[in-house]
Structure 1
Amino acid sequence: MHLAIAGSVAADHLQTFSGKFSDSLVPDQLAKLSVSFLVEDLDIRRGGCAANITFALGRLGISPLLVAAVGRDFADQGYREWLESAGVDCSHVRVSPDLHTALCTITTDDAHAQIVTFYPGAMAEAREIDIAALHAEQPIDLLLVGPDDPEAMQRHTSTARDAGIAFAADPSQQLAWAGGDLIRELVEGATYLFTNDYEAALIEKKTGWSADEVRTKVGTQIITRGKDGVTVYPDGGEPVEVAAIRGVEAVDPTGVGDSFRGGFLAGVAAGLSFERAAQIGCTIAASVVETTGTQEYVLERESFLDRVEATYGVAARDDIGAALSLA
């Protein structure tokens, strides 16, 4: 299966706040919000939703096409080489001659709540990428449209519909500012819809659709629930509940949802059931949450499969081990 992953590539500036953001918020004064948080550290890492998803796919033995716009610093930072060494196809990444690669600043508190600011930079040029041309060069079996330049997300989604390309909708962070009309445009007709439980509720609120109505608009909806696992709502089938990996020692939640998506899509590409695909997603997500940085985790075949078996059983280990070519 040829997977194309469209979305952001960014440098992540990760910071930690010792305390809870909520302790500094006065509910009836939010319209006059003015707060400052003194952070304890700064960790600069590779990130961006599309980069994180493709990295996870590459580490699981799937070679996805990265569809993204980056700055002239992309190669200088060694980011291209890093992704390619993980098995990601960067041959069609658009490089801006003038703008820097996007920058994401993420501050996490003791409750794992996060405040995120994002400078798009070269990401704005993603709208110039022609999905139809890429599809003509090598047919795309599934296009994931992730958080990106808004116009690019609209264009990629529209092109996928017109060209008959199956697509996965993953609007995530862009839901905060998007209106109902745009969200409907990005979601309706998707083969897969990825959200966490908060984002699922936000889609319902902004579109006016009920939870059941959302599921009539898409093929399969996947809702991640953090430590409570994931629920998959297949098209016309019964919900599939998959527990989170047991015994996780959480360090940093950044990029966990992206890695889950990569794991799930790796399972789909390998022809596994939704249950097995979600188990792969949960297992790789556990590795990410236990690591600072979104692409700093290490996957070793036996330890990965041992972790699958410990939570999901021997049959899951056998099925996943036979399907994936982890190193």
Structure 2
Amino acid sequence: MRIAVTGSIATDHLMAFPGRFVDQLLPDQLEHVSLSFLVDNLEVRRGGVAANIAYGLGGLRFDPVLVGAVGPHFGEYEVWLKEHGVDTGSVHVSAGHQTARFMCLTDRDSNQIASFYAGAMAEAAEIDLREIIARSGPLDLVLVSPNDPAAMVRHTDQARALGIPFAADPSQQLARLSRDEVRTLVDGARWLFTNEYESALLRERAEWSTEEVLERVGTWITTLGAKGVRIDAKDEPTVSVAAVPDIEAADPTGVGDAFRAGFLAAVGWGLPLETAAQLGCALSALVLAEVGSQAYEIHPERLLTTLRTVYGERAAGLLEPKVGQSA
């Protein structure tokens, strides 16, 4: 299965606040918030949603095609991605803008306050999927993850026009997308990914009910943090999968991206949705235990041990012939 992962490629600036954000907020002063947090540390790591998902897929031997825009100093990051199985030949390099920056502050409850500088990402709409196919060959799926909104719409429209199945992952960009943009990105998606908050925001932005969304997508996957994952499809029973328990959280950045990589790999192997979510949760646990969304490595035996312990012999048995093998 050949997957093009479109979206952001960024540098993550990760900071930890030892307290709780809610303790710093005064209910009668929320219209005049002015806060500064003294942080304990700063970690600068490789990131960006598309790059994180591609990294996970590369670790599972899927040779994903990364589609995004970066600044002129991408060389070291590009080498890293190539070493981890990612095809970077379709990445657009800007001559005038720096690679995007994600600046995130996490409190002791794993709540986050973040900002994002788009930089070179503003040029992502210049990337043409037809040129990518000409370079790398036919695509089986286009994943449209957070990016410049014009790029997200263009790549979704191109996937439709080219008859390529697509997955919608608007997540962080929902806050700035219009109703029509959200509807364009979602309508006809084979897979729709959100977390629990984003699922409500998507319905509000699109002005669609849950039932109306399910009329328009193949399968809706909602990650629920420590509560696991819920999978919904029209006229099908809901599938619920528990998260991997007892993980000491180092940093939550990139956890959802790892889930998407594991899930898409498993459905690419033709495995059941429940098994796909279980693999996604197992990869998420690897990220949660590290600082940085690409700080983990996939070791097949360890991964299978986690799957066997948490989800049982059936999950491990279905994944054992696939994990670590060529897609």
Offset of residue 247 of structure 1: 2.1
Offset of residue 315 of structure 1: 1.4
What's the CA shift string for 1:233-263, capped at 9, x where partnerless?
1354221111111221111100000000001
What's the CA shift string for 1:172-207, capped at 9, x where partnerless?
000122222221111111110000011001111222
Tell me which residue corresponds to 1:155: 154
Offset of residue 140 of structure 1: 1.1
Tell me which residue corresponds to 1:192: 191
What's the CA shift string for 1:56-75, capped at 9, x where partnerless?
00111211000011110110
Q: CA RMSD in A?
A: 1.3
Tell me which residue corresponds to 1:23: 23
Give the TM-score, by structure 1 length.
0.96
Tell me which residue corresponds to 1:144: 143
Offset of residue 18 of structure 1: 1.2
Tell me which residue corresponds to 1:58: 58
- For 2:218 and 2:29, the matched residues in 1 are separated by 42
Structure 1 residue 174 corresponds to structure 2 residue 169? no
- For 2:101 and 2:271, the matched residues in 1 are separated by 35
Pair 28,213 (structure 1): closer, same or farther in 2 beyond 3 Å: farther
Moved more, 132-141 or 257-266: 132-141
- For 2:162 and 2:27, the matched residues in 1 are separated by 47
Q: How many residues matched?
A: 325
> 5+ unaligned residues in a row in structure 2: which ranges?
none
- For 1:24 and 1:5, the matched residues in 2 are separated by 38
Structure 1 residue 71 corresponds to structure 2 residue 71? yes
Q: Is the Cα contact below 8 Å between 1:10 and 1:104 reproduced in 2?
A: yes
What's the CA shift string for 1:115-170, capped at 9, x where partnerless?
11111111111010001222344111100000001110111111111111111000
> 5+ unaligned residues in a row in structure 1: which ranges?
none
- For 1:32 and 1:306, the matched residues in 2 are separated by 50
- For 1:72 and 1:27, the matched residues in 2 are separated by 45
Tell me which residue corresponds to 1:44: 44
- For 2:325 and 2:54, the matched residues in 1 are separated by 15
Offset of residue 26 of structure 1: 2.6
- For 2:298 and 2:325, the matched residues in 1 are separated by 8
Tell me which residue corresponds to 1:131: 129
Paired residue type of 1:71: G
Q: Is the Cα contact below 8 Å between 1:270 and 1:324 reproduced in 2?
A: no
1:106-255 aligned at under 5 Å gives the runs 106-137=104-135, 138-255=137-254
Paired residue type of 1:80: E
SS of 1:104's equivalent in the other structure is strand
Tell me which residue corresponds to 1:317: 316
- For 1:287 and 1:61, the matched residues in 2 are separated by 17
Offset of residue 217 of structure 1: 1.3
Paired residue type of 1:202: L
SS of 1:193's equivalent in the other structure is strand
Moved more, 173-182 or 111-120: 173-182
Structure 1 residue 293 corresponds to structure 2 residue 292? yes
Paired residue type of 1:285: S
Give the TM-score, by structure 2 length.
0.96
Identity %: 49
